[in-house]
């Protein structure tokens, strides 16, 4: 199966790329700087270009079957409002519709959409707006992204992640739609496996699970 991965050079993207290749998928990645991809694999195709360029996105989507979107703004970003992720997602979805690519798996954050209700009051109303403004900006754009995806006719899954930690995999992930049993973190490897496993799973079709260990 052929998949296109957007965001392959990021913290999460590198792990998702490794997992997808390990599971035997043919993976194309679109990156601004090809030298940032250290992986070499016969099933990996690297395309250099801008995800905000409609013609480039249209080109890399040809003959693809699944889109995984794990774009970020570079760690914590600069704290300024950004529409990068939502703008890129809109371009992807528009081109997916044109080319009849139906499956989209997108990374989001716990705290986006209705999962804001899963967070403690003091975090949402005190810590986030006053001490973690950088995360507030990211979640605001993820909210815009989620709305674009949910209003599409695609077969989408939005995976909302808490803090992603680079620790040994635990081999089990809890996925919840109502916040029950949701913890504060998920390991990088477990997150990547969960996302790649959604390629062949219909368990969360047109749903937005929040995951944790």
**Sign of torsion, CA 27 149 191 74?**
positive
**Where in the sequence is the domain holding 148, given as residue range(s)?**
2-212
Q: What is the pLDDT of residue 95?
A: 98
Helix H or strand E encompassing 17? helix 11-22
Find residue 68's DSSP bridge partners.
Answer: 5, 105
Q: What is the pLDDT of residue 127?
A: 52
pLDDT of 129 > 70? The answer is no
**Sign of torsion, CA 5 9 13 18?**
positive
- Looking up residue 153, the CATH number of its domain turns out to be 3.40.50.720
Looking at per-residue confidence, does 16 or 39 come out higher? 16
pLDDT of 145 > 90? The answer is yes
Closest C-alpha to 17, from 32, 198, 26, 33 = 26
pLDDT in tens, 153-210: 999 999 999 999 999 999 999 999 999 999 999 999 999 999 999 999 999 999 999 9
Closest C-alpha to 66, from 106, 115, 98, 126 = 106
Instruction: Enter the pTM of the model.
Output: 0.94
pLDDT of 134 > 80? The answer is no
Q: How many domains does the chain have?
A: 1
């Amino acid at each position: 199966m052929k998949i296109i991965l957007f965001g392959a050079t990021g913290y999460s993207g590198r792990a998702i790329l490794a997992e997808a290749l390990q599971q035997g998928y043919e993976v194309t990645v679109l990156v601004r700087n090809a030298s940032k991809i250290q992986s070499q694999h016969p099933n990996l195709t690297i395309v250099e270009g801008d995800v905000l360029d409609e013609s480039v996105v249209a080109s890399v989507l040809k003959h693809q079957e699944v889109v995984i979107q794990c774009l970020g703004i570079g760690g914590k970003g600069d704290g300024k409002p950004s529409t990068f992720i939502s703008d890129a997602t809109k371009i992807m979805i528009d081109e997916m519709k044109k080319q009849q690519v139906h499956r989209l798996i997108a990374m989001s954050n716990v705290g986006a959409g209705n999962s804001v209700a899963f967070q403690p009051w003091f975090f949402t109303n005190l810590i986030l707006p006053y001490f973690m403004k950088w995360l507030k900006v990211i979640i605001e754009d993820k909210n815009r992204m989620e709305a674009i995806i949910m209003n599409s006719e695609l077969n989408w899954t939005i995976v909302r992640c808490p803090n992603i930690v680079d620790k040994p995999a635990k081999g089990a992930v809890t996925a919840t739609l109502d916040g029950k049993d949701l913890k504060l973190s998920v390991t990088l490897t477990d997150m990547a496996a969960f996302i790649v496993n959604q390629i062949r799973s219909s368990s969360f079709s047109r749903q937005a699970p929040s995951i944790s260990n």
